[in-house]
Amino acid sequence: MSMTNNQTGRLPPQSLLQQRYIIIEQIGRGGMGAVYAATDTRIAHRRVAIKEMSQARFSPQELAEATTRFQQEAAMLGALSHPNLPRIYDAFSEQGRSYLVMDLIEGKTLHQLLKEAHGQPLAVVQVLLYARQLCDVLSYLHQRTPPIIFRDIKPTNIMIVPTGQIYLIDFGIARFFKEGQQQDTILLGSPGYAPPEQHGIAQTSPRSDIYGLGATLHHCLTGRDPSRASDSFSFPPIRRFNPQVPSELDKLIQRMVAHDDQERPANALEVQQALMQISQQAAEHTSQFQANSLQFAPTQYIPPQPGPLSGQSSASNAPTNPIVPQQPSLSISTSTASASPALTKAMPTSHSPWSSGFLALFLLLSLLIVGGCIYTFNFICASAHIVEAGLSILLVLSIIGAGVIAKSRLTRGIMFISGLAALATGYAFTMLAQPDLAVIKFTDPSALCTVNSLPDEQFLTLLSTVGLGIVGLASLYWLTRSLSQASWIILCILFGGAILCTLARVFIPDEVAGHILLLIALIMLIQGNLISAKLEQSQRKGLLLALKP
């Protein structure tokens, strides 16, 4: 079917370009033109994206400038080959319009992900994954001769596919760096992401892209859109919005968005190296990367087929520029079915702690604790104090385990306080259990304290209650960590329930009911600390895998 529609951005399905590309549908449209999904009939019906430059509502001067930028994008991308850049297969003009044929990269833009987050920051692990890839592609561009300055790093120009791989798209205002030039002749860029020098103060340089990257990372980690801020050059400290962000990462991004370009990191490689150092500490400040929460269409891997990449058309007004692809094409189908097994393996795992093995072990341990309590009451000694003392020892061990797994000083400090309180509680219960231990046949009487040497019973009861309360309050720290909703609710029930049981113990005069409440509080705290330790371990494991080169 021949193309008969002369309206820019209005190519109907089945329109034919260059006697080769069949339009499937329009997948994007903006002020500079439209983007279509199409089929390349010459190469195994490969799916491609075709970018069409709009000519409507342009003055002759604006049209000439837009055409120049469009041709520059084609020439620039045609000479590049990088995993985080789309490949250009063809460039041509037809019926007075310019077209660019490139990889069909159908996923989600970073802007879409931020919009779906409803103003909330993205997980630090997720942002670090994107940041490292962006540094890699910027380093590649800046090391070209002459260096290529992208000049428009922002969330809408970053595409993300299901594997977590990013693509830098839209080279419409990219330019070559000209040594010695005082300032750019054309002032372009996006408010909030473009550095001061891009507004006519000086010539843009590789450090200008560092600024755009810093502004983008600031948006991702705070949820604050700089383009909507009253001062588009103001970037408050990130930890003011998101305390989960490591202070080193916050300081790095503040350097990246410095007004003076000389105060920014010298190049993208320096930023990438700093991110690698920070990544080893980030597990203490982030949640795991929930890659499965990104609802993408399934990916299909289509290897390139031999054959010509472009050809001359009698309808073209300009010669076709063939570009040989350097690597296989990655295209994404429009099906809404679940991802293929190959894609599932490629995606980063979230390392949820709620595996079948951990659940089985957790339930078994819970049964052993409850069963041990029942056995002690019925066959050893009907003493609640003995059982409470034994559970206190298990509580101390669970806190020590969580403290060992944790790496941050803050977490270990809180675990240390919690452990001291648990030891005090265990001491109180052990002293209160001395009279009951005396009646057990296998207990050495000489190892027991005499009744006269025991501390005051009222003091010991108060010490056990206060100690248990401190453990419960300190354990609430785990709720401030970045957790999934299910994990947060479970820990909230366990730690909150333990605190409520401890408080209720104070106001309930019945001794039997009081002991039951203390036993429930101890069991809840033990379970909560075990789950917290497992969550901490899973977060660290997820981070190390996600950041693995």
Does the pLDDT at position 250 exceed 90?
yes
What's the chain's average pLDDT? 75
Residue-level pLDDT at 438: 56
State the helix-helix crossing angle for 384-405 and 409-432, rounded to 10 degrees: 170
pLDDT tens digits, 363-381: 777 777 777 666 665 655 5
* pLDDT at position 36: 92
In this model, does residue 464 exceed pLDDT 80? Answer: yes
**16-106+301-332: CATH homologous superfamily?**
Phosphorylase Kinase; domain 1 (3.30.200.20)
Question: Alpha helices of 41-85 — where are they, by DSSP H?
Answer: 60-78
- The per-residue pLDDT for 376 is 60
Residue 537 to residue 40: CA distance in whole angstroms:
48
In degrees, rounded to 5, the angle at the alpha carbon of residue 484 between the alpha carbons of residues 478 and 488 is 40
Give residue-wise pLDDT tens across range 252-306. Answer: 999 999 998 899 999 999 999 999 888 866 554 444 444 444 444 433 333 344 4
**Which of 54-63, 199-208, 411-420 is the most confident on average?**
411-420
Matching CATH number, 108-295, of 1.10.510.10, 3.40.190.10, 3.40.30.10, 1.10.8.60: 1.10.510.10
**Structure-model confidence comparison of residues 456 and 499, the more confident one:** 499
Query: What's residue 303's pLDDT?
Result: 37
* More confident position, 336 or 189: 189
CA atoms within 13 A on the CB side of 352: 13
The partner residues of 149 in beta bridges, in order of sequence, read 175
User: Which distant-in-sequence residues (6+ apart) come within 8 Å of 260 by Cβ?
Assistant: none
In this prediction, residue 21 has a pLDDT band, given cuts at 50, 70 and 90, of: very high
Q: How many residues does the chain have?
A: 549
What pLDDT is stored for residue 448 in this prediction? 47
Of 25-34, 313-322, 519-528, give the lowest mean pLDDT range: 313-322
Residue from 189, 278, 200 nearest 226 by CA: 189
Q: What is the mean pLDDT of residues 4-12?
A: 62
Cα torsion at 176, 180, 185, 189 (round to 10°)? 60
| 117 has a pLDDT exceeding 50 | yes
H/E element, 30 = strand 21-30
Q: Where are the domains of the chain?
A: 16-106+301-332, 108-295, 356-546
**548 in a labelled binding site:** no
Residue 421 reports pLDDT greater than 70:
yes
Report whether 250 contacts 236 (CB < 8 A): no
Distance CA 33, CA 223 (A): 29
In the chain, the percentage of residues whose pLDDT exceeds 90 is 22
Q: Strand 88-94 and strand 316-318: pairing?
A: antiparallel
Q: What pLDDT, on a 0 to 100 scale, did the predictor assign at position 445?
A: 53
Predicted pLDDT at 2: 39
* Whether the predicted pLDDT of 105 surpasses 50: yes
pLDDT digits (tens, 9 = 90+) for 130-181: 999 999 999 999 998 888 888 889 998 999 998 889 999 877 544 443 334 3
**pLDDT(317) > 60:** no
Which residues lie below 8 Å from residue 57, measured CB to CB, with a gap of 6+? Answer: none
How much is the pLDDT for 347?
A: 38
pLDDT at 118 over 70: yes
**Identity of residue 371:** G
pLDDT band at 352 (very low <50, low <70, confident <90, very high): low
